[in-house]
Amino acid sequence: MMNKKMLLFSNGSEITRGEQPSKFAASAIRDFLGARIERALFVPFAAVVRSYDEYAALVRVRFGPLGYEVNSIHEATDARAAVESAEAVVIGGGNTFHLLRGMYEAGVVEAIRARVEGGVPYIGWSAGSNVACPTIRTTNDMPVVEPQSFDALNLLPFQINPHYTDARIEGHQGETRDERLAEFVHANPGVYVVGLREGSVLRIEGSSAELLGDLPARIFLKGQPATDVQPGESLQFLFR
């Protein structure tokens, strides 16, 4: 765990909407990757309606002004070799089930895990943050396809719920997000879930985590009331 460097966004709009990344996202990415990284390997498999070519082109346009060249894994003749030579791995958002199926089909789940555990920087947003967890069972997405397993990269000892909101919609009779996550931790005792609100980022360095942004993250664990952790507060308990 000591070598891992990860930057996990709740959502990708900070990066992929508008003509360039927001100042917040641009600053976070530059500070995270630094000047020693020249190019990143992008994994576009979360795209469903948008083509992989379109998604890769969008990410190139956003990362280029930040000083980083982007290669896309779907263009590689050997996906595993592309991972093994990557200076950084970037996994975009979209549908988490589609993303994980694509990663398994490309045969790169173990390769990405090994590279990140060895110190290669990892950036993910939305679905890309989901697959950094032990499983994808705290995604909000519809299972439009079936991956061979729900087991993901297992780069963290806890789960993330991107796009977390505690909003209640008038007249809506389904479960709230809190109720759904309470069901998950009840069925999976001892597993933390971090509800990551929009505009929030987790920066992982080894076995420590820092919450970036202006909003708190909500923490779920069986037997404990859901609590908010503010940016700047310790998240060390997540690694126990």
Check pLDDT > 90 for residue 201.
Answer: yes
**Domains of the chain and any CATH numbers:** 5-239 (3.40.50.880)
- pTM for the whole thing? 0.95
Q: Which residues are the active-site residues? A: 126, 141, 163
Q: Could you read off the pLDDT of 19-44 as tens digits, one per residue?
A: 678 899 999 999 999 988 999 999 99
179: left (phi > 0), else alpha (psi -120 to 50), else beta?
A: alpha
Report the chain's C-alpha Rg in angstroms. 17
The model's pLDDT over 100-146, given as tens digits with 9 standing for 90+, comes to: 999 999 999 999 999 999 999 999 999 999 999 999 999 999 999 99
Mean pLDDT within 10-18: 84
| 197 band by pLDDT with thresholds 50, 70 and 90 | very high
Percent of the chain with pLDDT over 70: 98
Window from 16-20, 29-33, 57-61 with minimum mean pLDDT: 16-20
